[in-house]
């Protein structure tokens, strides 16, 4: 055996020695990372992917999987940086676009997520998950119809996709297609019998159909499967409230808030129940908290205004209605209620402006015409008041108050016969005040 080796031989031996004794290949580290990832050791997986990338800087798969591990640790910005590098190295890497879309979604960048899902779908048109996730992004942007189209495609590609049925049902529910939602949610539960979210969503759809007892059964099941499910407690509270079980509703809202202290809707809903129980101060405290957590919560301002109104704080009520209208300019009830506050403060002209806006937004509501008629009557515009009372009666012929007040306006115009006919009708419909006026004015 020759004890001398040439230079190339020495180099070769040293290379083998380093590979077997001191180092691992990039693939070895990558595979180790995959194994640690499967064991939920995400930090350990990231360390291995780091090493794989150090040894092989153009290792697109390692960047993608490191990004995935970071996303599992909620480091979505770090994950996006890795996905950026992966698609730079491999512009046709569909899964990297998909995963980057997921991280953008988790950061609330729904438009950016859609762009990535678009790219993933273009590269991989049969990817049901990308269609489903793009649908979720569209849903969060308020595009329920566009979301449903994506869920349709996801289900076409994967007819057993329980999550897509659940999501489509949720979107249909938001479009008030409660029956269609229930059909989808039934399918989701059939495919995945312990699908907690599907039970909760089906309960919400049943709430929409006023099947409150059926809804409670679904919320009970969701809570049984997931005892810390704050949304299910909140939604069960809504059903109990509708059934008149106010104490039970408050208990559910309390539990939802205990589990999720930043749950603005639960505070708001608890406020609604307190208001029904005439605990207006307690209701205001809950609306205050809802608004603190969600400053653009139009309905919380609106209902806080209602509670202030009931406590006689008319100026405070108007301030809240102002805010509600600014946030939701098509809220005709807020205009009407602000009009009521102005009317009670003696600002009849301001009240009429608000009632007129409410009528413009919802011409078929008899109460708005009636309220405007009262304000006109106070301003001695009796003819204008009668026109409004006429319209109110046309829309709702069975309300005694409309006839009673029209009779008052006719009387002030000297139309005693017309007034007596209206008061007689009001009496027939149950307004006993009318009989005193009939005895005073009509039996002469």
How far is residue 435 CA from its own chain's centroid? 50
Please tell me the pTM assigned to this model: 0.85
pLDDT confidence of residue 383: 98
Q: Are 220 and 233 in contact (CB under 8 A)?
A: no
Q: Are 160 and 143 in contact (CB under 8 A)?
A: no
Q: Are 401 and 389 in contact (CB under 8 A)?
A: no
Tokens 């129980």 map to which residue? 277
Measure the CA angle with vertex 231, ends 223 and 208; round to 5°.
100
pLDDT tens readout for residues 260-277: 999 999 999 999 999 999
* Distance between CA atoms of residues 353 and 379, nearest Å: 13
What superfamily does domain 21-125 belong to in CATH? Tetratricopeptide repeat domain (1.25.40.10)
pLDDT confidence of residue 120: 98
pLDDT tens readout for residues 339-382: 999 999 999 999 999 999 999 999 999 999 999 999 999 999 99
* Distance between CA atoms of residues 391 and 399, nearest Å: 12
Helix residue ranges, H only, 107-177 = 110-123, 128-140, 144-157, 162-174
pLDDT confidence of residue 402: 98
pLDDT confidence of residue 443: 75
**DSSP states along 199-218:** HHHHHHHHHHTT-HHHHHHH
* Distance between CA atoms of residues 22 and 8, nearest Å: 20
* Distance between CA atoms of residues 427 and 240, nearest Å: 37
pLDDT tens readout for residues 379-437: 999 999 999 999 999 999 999 999 999 999 999 999 999 999 999 999 999 999 999 99
Per-residue pLDDT of the chain in tens (444 residues, 90 and over written 9): 333 233 333 332 333 333 333 469 999 999 999 999 999 999 999 999 999 999 999 999 999 999 999 999 999 999 999 999 999 999 999 999 999 999 999 999 999 999 999 999 999 999 999 999 999 999 999 999 999 999 999 999 999 999 999 999 999 999 999 999 999 999 999 999 999 999 999 999 999 999 999 999 999 999 999 999 999 999 999 999 999 999 999 999 999 999 999 999 999 999 999 999 999 999 999 999 999 999 999 999 999 999 999 999 999 999 999 999 999 999 999 999 999 999 999 999 999 999 999 999 999 999 999 999 999 999 999 999 999 999 999 999 999 999 999 999 999 999 999 999 999 999 999 999 999 999 999 976
pLDDT confidence of residue 444: 63
Q: Which of 87, 142, 134 is nearest to 115 (CA)?
A: 134
DSSP H or E run through 68: helix 60-72
């Amino acid at each position: 055996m020759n004890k001398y080796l040439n230079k190339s031989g020495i180099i070769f031996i040293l290379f083998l020695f380093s590979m077997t004794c001191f180092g691992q290949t990039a693939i070895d580290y990558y595979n180790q990372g995959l194994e640690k990832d499967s064991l939920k050791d995400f930090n350990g997986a990231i360390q291995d992917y780091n090493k794989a990338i150090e040894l092989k800087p153009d290792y697109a798969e390692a960047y993608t999987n490191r990004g995935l591990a970071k996303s599992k640790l909620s480091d979505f910005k770090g994950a996006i940086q890795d996905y950026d590098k992966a698609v730079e190295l491999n512009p046709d890497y569909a899964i990297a676009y998909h995963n980057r879309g997921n991280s953008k979604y988790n950061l609330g960048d729904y438009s950016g997520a859609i762009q990535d899902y678009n790219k993933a779908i273009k590269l991989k048109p049969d990817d049901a998950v990308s269609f489903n996730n793009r649908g979720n992004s569209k849903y969060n942007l308020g595009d329920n119809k566009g979301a449903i189209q994506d869920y349709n495609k996801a289900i076409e590609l994967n007819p057993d996709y329980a999550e897509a049925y659940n999501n489509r049902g949720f979107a249909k529910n938001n479009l008030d297609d409660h029956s269609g939602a229930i059909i989808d949610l039934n399918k989701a539960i059939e495919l995945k019998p312990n699908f907690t979210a599907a039970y909760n969503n089906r309960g919400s759809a049943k709430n929409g159909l006023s099947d409150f007892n059926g809804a409670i059964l679904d919320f009970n099941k969701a809570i049984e499967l997931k005892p810390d499910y704050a949304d299910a407690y909140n939604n069960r509270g809504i059903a109990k409230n509708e059934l008149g079980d106010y104490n039970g509703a408050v208990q559910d809202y309390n539990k939802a808030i205990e589990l999720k202290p930043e749950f603005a809707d639960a505070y708001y809903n608890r406020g609604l129940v307190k208001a029904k129980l005439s605990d207006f101060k307690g209701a205001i405290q809950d609306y205050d908290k809802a608004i603190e957590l969600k400053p653009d919560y139009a309905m919380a301002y609106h209902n806080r205004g209602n509670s202030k109104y009931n406590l006689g704080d008319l100026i405070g009520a108007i301030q809240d209605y102002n805010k509600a209208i600014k946030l939701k300019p098509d809220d005709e009830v807020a205009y009407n209620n602000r009009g009521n506050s102005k009317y009670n403060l003696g600002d009849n002209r301001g009240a009429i402006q608000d009632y007129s806006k409410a009528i413009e937004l919802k011409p078929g509501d008899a109460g708005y015409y009636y309220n405007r008629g009262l304000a006109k009557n106070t301003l001695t515009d009796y003819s204008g008041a009668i026109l409004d009372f006429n319209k109110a009666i046309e829309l709702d012929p069975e309300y005694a108050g409309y006839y009673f007040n029209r009779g008052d306006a006719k009387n002030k115009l000297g139309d005693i016969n017309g007034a007596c006919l209206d008061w007689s009708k009001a009496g027939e419909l149950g307004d006993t005040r009318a009989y005193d006026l009939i005895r005073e004015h009509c039996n002469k």
